[in-house]
Amino acid sequence: MGYERQGRNCAGHCEGWIHQCCIGLRGISFRGAQIFNALRVQGDGSIVVGSLDGKIRLYSKTSMRQAKTAFPGLGSPITHVDVTYDGKWVLGTTDTYLILICTLYTDKDGRTKTGFGGRMGNKIPAPRLLKLTPLDSHLAGNDNKFHGGHFSWITENGKQERHLVATVGKFSVIWDFQQVKNSAHECYRNQQGLKSCYCYKILLKDESIIESRFMHDNFAVTESPEAPLVVATPMKVSSISLSGKGKR
């Protein structure tokens, strides 16, 4: 199977290619009974895949015959995946939470690598879980599920994604990326085991949201460090600046 070595965040035609890949991979089994359910391409062409068994697998840009790294599942199927442009962080979406994983590790020679280029083995770090509080979960509706977790959109080396966004019911839920990846963040201080972050912003719409996604960073509005968030409902598409300086 051949793949063009393009990042997830290049031109629009690349997004279409990725969408076709996701459709083509869904329900296909590679090596045993692992059913791939979601796919995303990193900036250098490496690939992250989420599966129904809850595992997230990292593949190098040269082969999908065998994953370089496989992060253990937590019991919930992965419905969507995303990856930062530099490949250092992966975001998986399940029905009830998001899972954020750092792919960095140090190999036996003391070199820092990502799990796309080497086998992490027992150096896989504990993930961070992003959840709604019980109250917000109730307000979102018991039948509503998380979907489409994304990082903000950049395609340049040296830049860093600023936020994460996911949709549940009428909510667009936004986390500060710098906060959630900081192990000293106040949310984690008194927690044991897997750490969960409940610090987020909610944008509420009048009807169920189909998709929430940041525009490319090049479209940042004047005096704002980040591009607007685009929110699509069945009747309307709107763009919202998180700095509060613009809404269309």
Higher pLDDT among residues 248 and 4, named by residue: 248
CATH assignment of 1-125, given 1.10.1060, 3.30.450, 2.60.40, 2.40.128? 2.40.128
For residues 150 and 213, what is the distance between their CA atoms, to the nearest angstrom? 7
Task: Give the model's pLDDT for residue 146.
Answer: 96
pLDDT in tens, 206-227: 999 999 999 988 877 666 667 8
Which pLDDT band, with edges at 50, 70 and 90, does 112 fall under? very high
pLDDT reading at 27 higher than 80: no
pLDDT reading at 115 higher than 60: yes
Any idea where the domains of the chain sit in the sequence? 1-125, 128-248
User: What kind and span of H or E run contains 25?
Assistant: helix 12-25
Mean of the per-residue pLDDT values for the chain? Answer: 82
Check: CB of residue 167 under 8 Å from CB of residue 211. Answer: yes
Place of tokens 């959840």: 131
pLDDT reading at 1 higher than 80: no
pLDDT in tens, 124-158: 999 999 999 999 999 998 788 999 999 998 877 77
Closest by CA to 73, choosing from 146, 129, 27, is 129
For residues 240 and 248, what is the distance between their CA atoms, to the nearest angstrom? 7
Task: Give the model's pLDDT for residue 64.
Answer: 75
Task: Give the model's pLDDT for residue 242.
Answer: 81
For residues 66 and 186, what is the distance between their CA atoms, to the nearest angstrom? 38
Task: Give the model's pLDDT for residue 17.
Answer: 35
Mean pLDDT for the stretch of residues 5-30: 38
pLDDT reading at 121 higher than 80: yes
Which pLDDT band, with edges at 50, 70 and 90, does 30 fall under? very low
Task: Give the model's pLDDT for residue 229.
Answer: 93
For residues 156 and 239, what is the distance between their CA atoms, to the nearest angstrom? 23
The share of the chain scoring above pLDDT 70, in percent, equals 82
Task: Give the model's pLDDT for residue 43.
Answer: 82
pLDDT in tens, 155-195: 777 788 999 999 999 999 999 999 999 888 888 888 888 99
